[in-house]
Structure 1
Amino acid sequence: MNHTSTLGILLLLIVTFSANADEPAHGASKPTNEAIPRQSADGAAMFHVRCDGTYKHHLQGICNDQTSIYWSFTTTLVKTDRDGNVLKKIPVVNHHGDLCLHDGKLFVAVNLGKFNDPQGNADSWVYVYDADTLEELSRHQTQEVFHGAGGIGVRDGHFFVVGGLPNGVDENYVYEYDGELRFLRKHIIKSGHTLMGIQTATFAHGRWWFGCYGNPPTLLVTDTDFTMQGRYPINCSLGIAGLTDGRLLVGSGRCDQDRGCNGSATTAVPDEKAGFRLQSGAAR
């Protein structure tokens, strides 16, 4: 969100990040930076991975391929291996939000204006990076995202951008763009109000998954036409992505005023009653 957000909202987010963190406090002993394999009751492998290092701003989103995980820390874009070891990182403009991976490129929702402003004084973009080198390739205006671009997902070669939502609005909006990031249409999700709209988005396993702030944080699940399938009090507001074996990868993080912010990702299994179940056993 934009740094001009009110003090009350900032305090709410700080509490949310701390309460939902699954890492030790800064200064506590840290395990070696590697994925932690486990075995679930059905025999499926699972893991929890920490992104190496700390960053000035909090985690905004994650995405992944078969060899790498990509992390957006608001002003730093990071590429790690599947064990969380940093391969590349670059500084980026504030505010880089959630991101997705498509055709060897990273697509990041970026807002350069006021986030969540009722008058629509946002400045919404999608920045595109080479997934291998993190070299910036292009920038595309997405000014249709009226309250500020915050998240992005991809389905069938089209991009879907989500963002802010002022108080008093009881539905969320998804803005669809073609493969060249030309605006096509605006979709409405009859979700009820969510704090600051939708922060993270991914299409996985035949459904859309949307992570929202709040107390408690909220997961929205819809079908391909954005018809509500479920609303759950569970946190994926810092990142959610699909895995090829039917599971999800859920981001989390924690900020310390003196030492900065960190990020983690944990495998999860979709669950019709709960939204998803984390496989690490970490509370969310």
Structure 2
Amino acid sequence: MCIFLLSDICIGQVVCPGTYGGHLQGITTDNTNIYWSFTTSLVKTDTKGNLLVETSVPNHHGDITFHDGKIYVAVNLGKFNKEKGFAKSWVYVYDSKKLNLISKYNIPDVVHGAGGIEYHKNHFFVVGGLPKGHKANYVYEYDKNFKFIKKYTIKSGYTLKGIQTICFSQGYWWFGCYGKPPELLKTDDSFKLLGKYNFDCALGIAGFSGDTILIGRKLGKERHRGQVLPAKIDQTKGIPCIQCQNPPKPNKR
């Protein structure tokens, strides 16, 4: 089912070929290609799911974002969901053509483990883990050189292992969280909580073009495969609504 046209690009369901050593952590797009983070692998495909580049990366690569020809990944080389002193939070930067590592930045302010990243208004915003007992989530703002600017609090209550994915699209912040069922947080531009919903985008959420949002999901019961589904905001409910109802068979590699 064809959902959205951008030049000669048709976005319906996109299946990432192959099986990976870790589950899907996040997705991003340059509106021509899709980039996937699978914990220990970064993958680049076109919008039809054809494999373009694959590279192995250190554990744990989390959610990702695209900006100015580069891929930025929230990375934690330590432990998640602990109090200060156990995480080793970084941002790794890759060129978007070949996924070669360009640089990396230490971001120790993200004390519970860096797990997600987004670029918005010339700054980067990072989210991550959350120890049990905390009643709010946190967002960390950085400039383009990853100099720490500010820590924000989202009055969301506790969410399982904090925030996994982050996206700014159509005037709102969207945060994907684990849970049974998974949860979606929606805030305004200043991180005031507007809603908390039972909707799964904990494995990836990214703005596309126009009013389309891409949602990352695992593929069936196979934990270490991934897919992207197109969604549009349901104006009545105020949350994304999956548009692809008749997915094609998975690509095998």
- So what's the TM-score if we normalise by structure 2? 0.91
Q: C-alpha root-mean-square deviation of aligned residues, in Å?
A: 1.7
- Deviation (angstroms), 1:179: 0.7
- Which of residues 215, 231, 236 in structure 2 aligns to 1:268? 231
- Deviation (angstroms), 1:183: 0.6
- Residue equivalent to 2:21: 56
Percent of aligned pairs sharing the same letter: 52
Q: Per the alignment, do residues 38 and 182 of structure 1 end up closer, same or farther by CA in structure 2, a change over 3 Å counting?
A: closer
Matched, 1:127 2:92: yes
Aligned length, in residue pairs: 240
Q: Per the alignment, do residues 217 and 132 of structure 1 end up closer, same or farther by CA in structure 2, a change over 3 Å counting?
A: same
Question: Given that residues 3 and 230 in structure 2 are in contact (C-alpha distance below 8 angstroms), is that contact kept between their aligned partners in structure 1?
Answer: no
- Residue equivalent to 1:149: 114
Question: Given that residues 116 and 196 in structure 1 are in contact (C-alpha distance below 8 angstroms), is that contact kept between their aligned partners in structure 2?
Answer: yes
- Deviation (angstroms), 1:281: 3.1
- Deviation (angstroms), 1:205: 1.1
- Which of residues 138, 147, 172 in structure 1 aligns to 2:137? 172
Q: Match of 1:198, as an amino acid?
A: I
Q: Per the alignment, do residues 255 and 277 of structure 1 end up closer, same or farther by CA in structure 2, a change over 3 Å counting?
A: closer
- Deviation (angstroms), 1:46: 5.3
- Deviation (angstroms), 1:254: 4.3
Of 246-255 and 181-190, deviating more is 246-255
Alignment of 1:22-41 (within 5 A): 36-37=1-2
* 2:161 counterpart SS class: strand
> In structure 2, what is the Cα distance between the partners aligned to 1:279 and 1:135?
34
- Which of residues 40, 49, 54 in structure 2 aligns to 1:89? 54
- Which of residues 157, 161, 167 in structure 2 aligns to 1:202? 167
Q: Match of 1:262, as an amino acid?
A: R
Q: Per the alignment, do residues 38 and 140 of structure 1 end up closer, same or farther by CA in structure 2, a change over 3 Å counting?
A: closer
- Residue equivalent to 2:70: 105
Greater helix fraction, Structure 1 or Structure 2: 1
- Deviation (angstroms), 1:255: 8.0
Q: Match of 1:269, as an amino acid?
A: K
Question: Given that residues 48 and 266 in structure 1 are in contact (C-alpha distance below 8 angstroms), is that contact kept between their aligned partners in structure 2?
Answer: yes
Matched, 1:279 2:232: no
> In structure 2, what is the Cα distance between the partners aligned to 1:280 and 1:274?
18
- Residue equivalent to 1:12: none
Greater strand fraction, Structure 1 or Structure 2: 2
Q: Per the alignment, do residues 50 and 190 of structure 1 end up closer, same or farther by CA in structure 2, a change over 3 Å counting?
A: same
* Structure 1 residues without counterparts, runs of 5 or longer: 1-35, 40-44
- Deviation (angstroms), 1:118: 2.8
- So what's the TM-score if we normalise by structure 1? 0.81
Of 245-254 and 68-77, deviating more is 245-254
Q: Match of 1:151, as an amino acid?
A: G
- Deviation (angstroms), 1:120: 3.9
Q: Match of 1:271, as an amino acid?
A: D
